[in-house]
Structures are given as structure tokens and as C-alpha cells.
Amino acid sequence: MWQAIVDKFRRFPAQEKVIRLVLARGFQINDRGRVASGGIEIPHAQIARELDVDRRVVDTTAAAIREDEELWKIFRNVRSMPFLAEVAPVLGLGVIEIAPVDARQTGLLGSVAVSVAQHGLSIRQAVSDDPFFVEDPRLTIITEGKVPGDLVRLLMEIKGVRRVTVY
């Protein structure tokens, strides 16, 4: 699906950069054809500066999405979410980052969740990078408490796990 969206802008590399950023950040396109996060509009000049493109490229991309009914159905409903990984240690939560052998493999999240539960830890958050947006995707698990070493060893035994990092 994401590839079909990006393909609509393939002939316009600068607009494709805008599309990828809007999707990766969970931004929306609102009724006015502006990039937004909830009710907060994101200045197109700031997006342009981050991507090193002209502001008019962002304007044009957002307008094109708003005018395309299929695209707008998607982009008006995209939502971002808070990601706890960087604040977890401050909150006394554990962080497990798993690098998969192949991010498209099925069942990895389920196997990890079972292993975490067997160690009596509750999962507060599980975030899996989309391999379409991220070159080296990770599965990040935020746990209710610190992660014991024997859990790390168990996670390394799961088929499809390349590396486990604990913070």
C-alpha cells in the first residue's frame, strides 16, 4: 500500500521526500490542505527546511493529497503516538530492542511477547518499525520493569532474532 502511495509521486522526487516524511512522522493533511498533527498545523517552511526543499514543494504535495480522494482518506486519518523508549529508563521501565534477521518474518512479536510474559513482565508498549520507512527496522518493547539477563538470553534463541539490546 505504501509503495502505491509513493509511486504516485515517483516522478517528483522532492514531493516523494515530503510524502515519506509525512508518513514517517505520522502527520496528517487537514481539510485546508495543510500538514498537521491533530489540530496543530505544521509550518510548511519548517518541513521544507528539514528536507532541504522549497516550501512550495510541501504546499503542492499537501494540496495534491487533499485533492486526491483516495490519498486524503489515508492522510486525514494518520496519527502519531508517543514513543516511550527514550524516557523509559527515567520512568523505571525496561527497554528491549530487537534487530530481526528479516523484518517481514511473521510471528516475531508474538514470540517475544510470550517470552517477556513468561518472565513476569508486563508490556507497556511494543513498536515495530515499518521496513518500508526504515532501512534497518527494529522491534522495541517497553516493559513494566527492568529486563533480567536470562530474558535476554531467551530472546536471542528466538528464530529470526539477529540482536537484542537492553537499555
Residue type, 155: L
Higher pLDDT, 6 or 164: 164
Residue type, 46: Q
> What ranges in the chain are assigned the alpha helix state H?
2-7, 13-25, 44-51, 55-67, 69-75, 108-118, 149-156
Tens digits of per-residue pLDDT, 21-80? Answer: 998 899 999 999 999 999 999 999 999 999 999 999 999 999 999 999 999 999 999 998
Tell me the whole-structure pTM to 2 decimals: 0.80
Distance CA 111, CA 141 (A): 12
Distance CA 86, CA 124 (A): 14
147 contact partners, CB below 8 Å, separation of at least 6: 94, 95, 96, 121, 166
Tens digits of per-residue pLDDT, 114-137? Answer: 999 999 999 999 999 988 778 899
In the prediction, which pLDDT does 3 show?
78
Q: Is the pLDDT of residue 12 over 80?
A: yes
Domain ranges for the chain: 2-75, 94-166
Tens digits of per-residue pLDDT, 72-117? Answer: 999 999 998 899 999 999 999 999 999 999 988 899 999 999 999 9
CATH superfamily of 94-166: ACT domain (3.30.70.260)
* Structure-block grid coordinates of residue 72: 486524503
* Closest-CA residue to 140 (of 80, 89, 79, 94): 94
